């Protein structure tokens, strides 16, 4: 049994984010709208990343009355969540005036949402999953509505809130059924109890379906994907950047913990449900993205497709499939941040690359940006040697090894459709003539350096993927 000081030490990355959020709010009282608020938040997040990297574990540990689990997977997901938030804050730093809100309030919402996501990565009971999910969701609803003078942002926030409330109700209903059947909240204890209840297989299946449906909303999986294009296009670009990466890792963490506990193989039909949702998400996401003219909506639909590949990893019910899904979601976070960051990278706040047409002739307007964006799109399309190729490869290989050959072939063919619209964007950047009113794009220097490192990292991780692959494999 761990003592109190040991539990605080193991929870230190999350506690650091919590204290940073409190300090940020207090600092804003004395220095409202100060630029130092942003740097204070980034400093606290960097310390949290340092703590994640420097806590050595030999085995998984249960803390806080077995409501949280601490293992290598916990810290790996937490580290990528925090890094995603840091990148979001850096890119958004020169765009904050467009939010029409006090800077400290907005940053504190970022941090509290981050805290909820980090706790989700460690949640090991049905109770903590729901509470941490709400801690994540509520600040996100407020962030989407931060542009209170923008009717599109308010409309997006209302849609997001209503759909989010329905999704939370689905999860809560599923959790209540499982608790009523077993009398346990710990996921492992729940699964052990369910395995001896063969007569209740139908009600167990209903409970799991409700939980998967609620998480499917958070991950924007079919058929609960309707909100994501409208929210991504209606929210401020800096908020869309934040929504695109870290919350997806948090939603994945729920499925990850449930899968590791064995909940998805209690009832055989769950595997078929996961395959159906995964393939439908890839199909709908890729086909819908083909016709989009708004860049944010295009990337939103591509998110649906990417999440479809992620959930297919859980259909294998193997270590290879689950570790492949973990690898995919982590690399997706880096890729999507790079994709959405280009929208707000321009130094002039009047220049926003929000439409596909805005990319016309980008190579002539800013060759450096076109080259970096080409690496990002190659990675998202799954073209080697970028890291996105290995993300899809590990999922498809795990499906084949699990004798789900038809599913693997379908996923591979659908990947070709996904590659088409990314390659079409590259064609637009390099072979289409720029419009008459499109001039040279000037970039913010600090953000450009970060973007260069991030884009090159996608290439280097693809050329030398062993480090991240081993980290995902050893997370078990």
Whether residue 276 contacts residue 242, with contact meaning beta carbons closer than 8 Å, is answered with no
CA distance 307 to 278: 8
**Among 57, 58, 64, 66, residue whose Cα is nearest residue 14:** 64
Coil, strand or helix at 2? coil
**Which residues are 125's β-sheet partners?**
186
Q: Which residues have a Cβ under 8 Å from the Cβ of 137 and sit 6 or more positions away?
A: 116, 164, 168, 218
- DSSP 8-state assignment for residue 443: B
CA distance 186 to 422: 43
Give one DSSP letter per residue of 270-318, joined into a string: HHHHHHHHHHHHHHHHHHHHTT--BHHHHHHHHHHHHHHHHHHHHHT-S
- DSSP 8-state assignment for residue 464: S
| Torsion over CA: 117, 118, 122, 124 (sign) | negative
CA distance 378 to 427: 12
pLDDT at 440: 67
Whether residue 24 contacts residue 107, with contact meaning beta carbons closer than 8 Å, is answered with yes
**Among 272, 173, 172, 287, residue whose Cα is nearest residue 225:** 287
User: pLDDT 10s per residue in the chain (476 long)?
Assistant: 677 888 888 888 999 999 999 998 888 778 776 677 888 888 999 999 999 888 877 778 888 888 888 888 899 999 999 999 998 888 877 665 544 445 778 888 999 999 999 999 999 899 999 999 999 999 998 888 877 777 788 888 888 888 889 999 999 999 999 999 888 888 888 888 888 887 777 888 899 999 999 999 889 898 888 888 888 888 888 888 888 889 999 999 999 999 888 888 888 888 899 999 999 999 999 999 888 888 888 999 999 999 999 999 998 888 888 899 999 999 999 999 988 888 877 655 555 677 788 788 888 888 888 888 899 999 998 888 888 889 999 999 999 998 888 999 999 999 888 888 888 888 888 887 776 666 667 777 777 888 888 888 888 888 888 888 888 888 77
Whether residue 229 contacts residue 190, with contact meaning beta carbons closer than 8 Å, is answered with no
262: left (phi over 0), alpha (psi -120 to 50) or beta: left
SS3 assignment for 60-98: CEEECCCCEEECHHHHHHHHHHHHHHHHHHHHHHHHHHH
pLDDT at 330: 92
pLDDT at 135: 92
What Å distances lie between residue 89 and 217, 271, 418, 439, 450, CA to CA? 25, 38, 29, 27, 12
Could you list the beta-strand ranges (E) of 118-217: none
User: How far out from the chain centre does Cα 206 lie?
Assistant: 26
Kindly calculate the radius of gyration of the chain based on its CA atoms and give it in whole angstroms.
21
Q: Which residues have a Cβ under 8 Å from the Cβ of 15 and sit 6 or more positions away?
A: 8
Q: What is the dihedral of CA 195, 267, 218, 392, to 10 degrees?
A: 110
CA distance 230 to 153: 9
Please, is 158 exposed, middle or buried when counting C-beta atoms within 10 Å of its C-beta (0-12, 13-18, 19+)? middle
pLDDT at 99: 47
**What H or E segment, with its residue span, contains residue 249?**
helix 246-261
pLDDT at 348: 55
444: left (phi over 0), alpha (psi -120 to 50) or beta: beta
Model pTM score: 0.92
Coil, strand or helix at 129? helix
User: How far out from the chain centre does Cα 283 lie?
Assistant: 20
**Among 122, 127, 132, residue whose Cα is nearest residue 62:** 122
**What H or E segment, with its residue span, contains residue 456?**
helix 445-463
**Which residues are 443's β-sheet partners?**
346
φ, ψ (nearest 5 deg) of residue 290: -60, -30
């Amino acid at each position: 049994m761990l003592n109190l000081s040991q539990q605080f030490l193991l929870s230190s990355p999350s506690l650091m984010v919590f204290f940073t959020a409190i300090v940020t709010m207090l600092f804003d009282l004395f220095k409202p709208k100060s630029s130092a608020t942003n740097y204070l938040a980034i400093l606290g997040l960097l310390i949290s990343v340092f703590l994640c990297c420097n806590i050595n574990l030999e085995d998984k540990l249960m803390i806080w009355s077995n409501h949280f689990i601490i293992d290598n997977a916990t810290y790996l997901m937490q580290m990528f969540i925090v890094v995603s938030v840091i990148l979001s804050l850096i890119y958004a730093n020169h765009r904050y005036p467009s939010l029409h809100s006090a800077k400290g309030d907005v940053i504190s919402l970022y941090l509290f949402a981050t805290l909820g996501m980090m706790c989700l990565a460690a949640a090991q009971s049905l109770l903590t999953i729901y509470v941490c999910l709400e801690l994540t969701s509520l600040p996100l609803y407020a962030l989407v509505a931060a542009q209170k003078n923008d009717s599109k942002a308010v409309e997006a926030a209302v849609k997001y809130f209503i759909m989010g409330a329905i999704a939370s109700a689905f999860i809560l209903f599923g959790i209540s059924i499982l608790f009523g059947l077993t009398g346990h909240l710990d996921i492992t204890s729940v699964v052990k109890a369910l395995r001896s209840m063969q007569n209740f297989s139908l009600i167990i299946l209903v409970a799991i379906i409700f939980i998967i449906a609620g998480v499917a909303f958070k991950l924007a999986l079919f058929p609960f994907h309707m909100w994501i294009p409208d929210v991504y296009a209606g929210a401020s670009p800096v908020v869309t950047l934040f929504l695109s990466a870290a919350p997806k890792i948090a939603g994945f963490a729920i499925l990850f913990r449930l899968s590791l506990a064995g909940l998805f193989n209690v009832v055989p039909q769950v595997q078929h449900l996961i395959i159906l949702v995964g393939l439908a998400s890839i199909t709908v996401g890729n086909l819908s993205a083909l016709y989009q003219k708004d860049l944010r909506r295009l990337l939103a639909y591509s998110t649906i497709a990417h999440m479809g590949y992620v959930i297919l990893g859980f259909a294998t019910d193997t270590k290879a499939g689950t570790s492949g899904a973990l690898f995919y979601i982590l690399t997706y976070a880096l890729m999507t941040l790079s994709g959405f960051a280009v929208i707000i990278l321009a130094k002039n706040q009047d220049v926003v690359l929000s439409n596909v047409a805005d990319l016309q002739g980008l190579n002539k307007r800013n060759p450096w940006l076109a080259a970096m964006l080409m690496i990002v799109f190659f990675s998202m399309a799954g073209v080697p040697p970028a890291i996105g190729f290995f993300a899809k490869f590990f999922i498809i290989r795990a499906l084949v090894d699990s004798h789900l050959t038809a599913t693997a072939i379908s996923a591979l063919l659908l990947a070709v459709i996904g590659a088409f619209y990314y390659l079409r964007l590259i064609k637009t950047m390099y072979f289409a003539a720029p419009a008459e009113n499109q001039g040279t794009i000037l970039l913010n220097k600090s953000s450009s350096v970060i973007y260069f490192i991030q884009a090159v990292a996608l290439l280097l991780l693809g050329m030398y993927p062993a480090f991240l692959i081993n980290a995902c494999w050893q997370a078990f």
